[in-house]
Structure 1
Amino acid sequence: MSTKEKVRERVSRKESTALNNEIIVYNDDVNTFDHVIATLIRVCNHTPEQAEQCALIVHYNGKCTVKTGPYDKLKPQCTQLLEAGLSAEII
């Protein structure tokens, strides 16, 4: 006779995606790499290396997530990106 044990595990995971939004920057034919990099450093507090990588991703992939967080924190940053002439949106 064999005894079978059923083990039930509770797995909890936080769904942080519902709380975080993303600022997406899109590629355009107007802004230079230097302008995009300087703007990401100033507005999003990127390091120069991070800003350069984001600029390259935008150039080659057409878009890049440059910042994540709650909507109320991202809104002023996205507004500053738009005022600097970048194509950006919060999703």
Structure 2
Amino acid sequence: MNWDTEILIKEDIAVLEATTELRNLVVYNDDVNTFEHVIATLIKVCRHTPEQAEQCTMLIHYKGKCTVKIGSYDELEGMCTSLHDKDLSANIE
């Protein structure tokens, strides 16, 4: 491998890492939404199993927030918008 090829490979790796950086979709606790609403929303929007949605909802309630999905920004953006549309407080971090 020559020097030019090594630089190109390292640049390609850096670009790939930058474009596939994983983010967290975090839902925050509030005093408005019911457990049932949060669970149903996580099942519908994030495609959680009922058990997973219930566990996340408990963490949101007792810890104040919970990462409900991990993925690229592009994967999470639509879910975050849908959570907002269902009146949940969520953010991509």
TM range (shorter): 0.7 to 0.9
Q: What secondary structure sits across from 1:30 in the alignment? A: coil
4+ runs of 1 displaced by more than 2 Å? none
Match of 1:30 in 2: 32
TM value normalised by structure 2: 0.78
The one-letter code matched in structure 2 to 1:53 is Q
2:67 to 49, 65, 73: 65
Whether 1:88 and 2:87 are equivalent positions in the alignment is no
Higher helix share: 2
TM value normalised by structure 1: 0.80
Unpaired runs of 5+ residues, structure 1, are 1-14
C-alpha separation in 1, matches of 2:80 and 2:70: 11
Give the aligned length.
75
Match of 2:76 in 1: 74
**Displacement after TM superposition at 1:48 (Å):** 0.1
Identity %: 63
Match of 2:5 in 1: none
C-alpha separation in 2, matches of 1:80 and 1:90: 13
